[in-house]
Amino acid sequence: AKEPVRVLVTGAAGQIGYALVPMIARGVMLGADQPVILHMLDIPPAAEALNGVKMELVDAAFPLLKGVVATTDVVEACTGVNIAVMVGGFPRKEGMERKDVMSKNVSIYKAQASALEKHAAANCKVLVVANPANTNALILKEFAPSIPEKNITCLTRLDHNRALGQISERVNVPVSEVKNVIIWGNHSSTQYPDVNHATVKTPSGEKPVRQLVNDDAWLNAEFITTVQQRGAAIIKARKLSSALSAASSACDHIRDWVLGTPEGTWVSMGVYSDGSYNVPAGLIYSFPVTCQNGEWKIVQGLQIDGLSRKKLDLTAEELSEEKALAYSCLS
Ligand code: NAX
């Protein structure tokens, strides 16, 4: 039998946490043969709710679940974890300045970075979900210098999956037949959902999405804004932000990272830029990646057309501004 893997979920008493922890305990994230021990962190005002989630995990009697730590103590939460999914953060509230929200999250991610660096298992893999996800991940990287930068990522897989979903609906094929869309840049409304290399599996072989959709006007405008604005559309419909799709995508992100992407398929992950595609180095930016043996690699050599270039640069500019704002909160 395999040794249990310890998975930390911060913000575990929240909406996404509530959808995510049962998926992890059922083996959706790490596989149906992988036992897990869940570490759940939240803040004191949510301690009772967090304990309620722990009670439900016990009640669900998940065979793969070998233990649950539910705590408001960051050190206890981080100790020995192999995977850390950072969902906890400070949400933007009506009337708050961007800088104030950033400042709250910078201090949360700075503190949690230090706790992870000191107490997590060696080679712990980190996924930041909480917004501003790319910049929170960057702060975490800066304040956990002994965690390899390749181990620190942020979630853009939900945006990636949303793009697959839109193409699937438009072409009227199951979403499983669509692949290799790309989300470039920030997990925000400046992200660039790119279908220029995406394909659909058809009975007569793989076809480019552009050919099958056969409507460049839609692909270059409405498709892009629909994916960019999907979070807002969910809030409007549900009066709550995306939770089940965010949780499911977080599982996809970790599963593909740990167990590998299928041959010929890439996914989108927010990772530390090395300057690929002339994206400034030193940002956490979403790229197309393939994963093997627990490591991601940016897909190289894709053709970037003029329209795409502008969009890659625009979202990079926003991330550079966020980075500057985050640093201004430190001083
Ligand atoms: P909730 O407000 O329901 O849950 C957040 C939880 O975090 C709360 O229980 C809160 O007490 C806890 N928390 C706050 N500060 C904490 C700290 N310092 N340590 C530990 N826990 C802390 O929000 P939810 O809907 O679950 O969303 C969580 C985060 O995901 C938000 O920042 C949200 O913006 C972000 N999202 C990111 C997405 C992505 O694709 N990257 C998509 C979904 C989601 O909007």
Query: What does the DSSP assignment read for 8-36?
Result: EEETTTSHHHHHHHHHHHTTTTT-TT--E
**pLDDT surpasses 80 at 327:** yes
Alpha carbon distances (Å) from 279 to 25, 163, 226, 321: 37, 22, 24, 14
Percent of the chain with pLDDT over 90: 96
Active-site residue list = 187
Query: Around 190, how many Cα atoms within 13 Å sit in the side-chain half-sphere?
Result: 19
CA dist., res. 66 & res. 48, Å (int): 22
SS3 track for 150-165: HHEEECCHHHHHHHHH
pLDDT of 294? 98
Average pLDDT value over all residues in the chain: 97
Cα separation of 151 and 284, whole Å? 12
Which residues, 6+ apart, have CB-to-CB distance to 25 below 8 Å?
Answer: 36, 38, 57, 60, 62, 64, 65
Q: Is the CB of 11 under 6 A from ligand 1?
A: yes
Place of tokens 């395999």: 2
Q: What is the DSSP string of 34-71?
A: --EEEEEE--GGGHHHHHHHHHHHHHHT-TTEEEEEEE
DSSP state for residue 185 in the 8-state scheme: B
Residue nearest to atom 20 of ligand 1 (CA): 42
Q: Could you tell me if the CB of 47 is within 6 A of ligand 1?
A: no
Ligand 1 neighbourhood includes 14 CB (under 6 angstroms)? yes
Confidence of residue 102 (pLDDT cuts 50, 70, 90): very high
Nearest CA to ligand 1 atom 29: 130
CA distance 80 to 234: 36
Provide the terminal-to-terminal Cα distance of the chain, rounded to the nearest Å: 49
Instruction: Give 212 Cα–ligand 1 centroid separation in angstroms.
Output: 38
Q: What are the helix and strand counts (H, E) for the chain?
A: 12, 14
C-alpha of residue 91 to centroid of ligand 1, in Å: 7
Q: Which residue has tokens 């991940």?
A: 137
Strands 192-194 and 182-184: antiparallel
Quote the CA–CA distance of 96 and 93 in Å, as a whole number. 6
Contacts of 35 (CB under 8 A, 6+ apart): 1, 2, 3, 4, 5, 64, 65, 66
Q: How does residue 94 score in pLDDT terms, banded at 50, 70 and 90?
A: confident
pLDDT band, residue 198 (cuts 50/70/90): very high
Which residue lies with its CA nearest to atom 6 of ligand 1? 11
Three-state DSSP class for residue 123? coil
Residue 95: band (very low, low, confident or very high) from pLDDT cuts 50, 70, 90: confident
Q: Across 58-190, where does the E strand assignment appear? A: 65-71, 83-86, 125-128, 152-154, 178-179, 182-184
115 lines ligand 1 (CB under 6 A): no
Give SS3 for 184: strand
Q: To the nearest 5 percent, what fractions of the chain are helix, strand and coil?
A: 45, 20, 35
14 annotated to bind ligand: yes
Supply the pTM of this predicted model: 0.98
Q: Which two tokens stand for residue 11?
A: 């913000």
Mutate to test the pocket of ligand 1, among 40, 131, 156 (most ligand atoms within 8 A of CB): 131
Q: Is the pLDDT of residue 247 over 90?
A: yes
Q: Which residue has the higher pLDDT, 98 or 112?
A: 112
pLDDT for the residue 103: 95
